[in-house]
Amino acid sequence: KKGGLGDTTKNKNIRLKRTKIKLEILGFVSER
């Protein structure tokens, strides 16, 4: 169960990173 909890946190972090990258790309494109 410990590993399961860690996995969910890891997935959340990966999702946050992906959304951040998406927002950065969108912001970069809109700036041009």
For every one of its 32 residues, what pLDDT tens digit does the chain have, with 9 covering 90 and above?
566 677 788 889 999 999 999 999 999 887 76
| 1-30: b (≥16 Cβ within 10 Å) or e | eeeeeeeeeeeeeeeeeeeeeeeeeeeeee
- By three-state DSSP, how is residue 29 classified? helix
Domain boundaries, the chain: 1-32
Sign of CA dihedral 4, 6, 12, 17: negative
Instruction: Report the pLDDT value the prediction gives residue 7, as an integer from 0 to 100.
Output: 79
Its pTM stands at 0.56
Instruction: Report the pLDDT value the prediction gives residue 13, as an integer from 0 to 100.
Output: 93
Instruction: Report the pLDDT value the prediction gives residue 1, as an integer from 0 to 100.
Output: 56
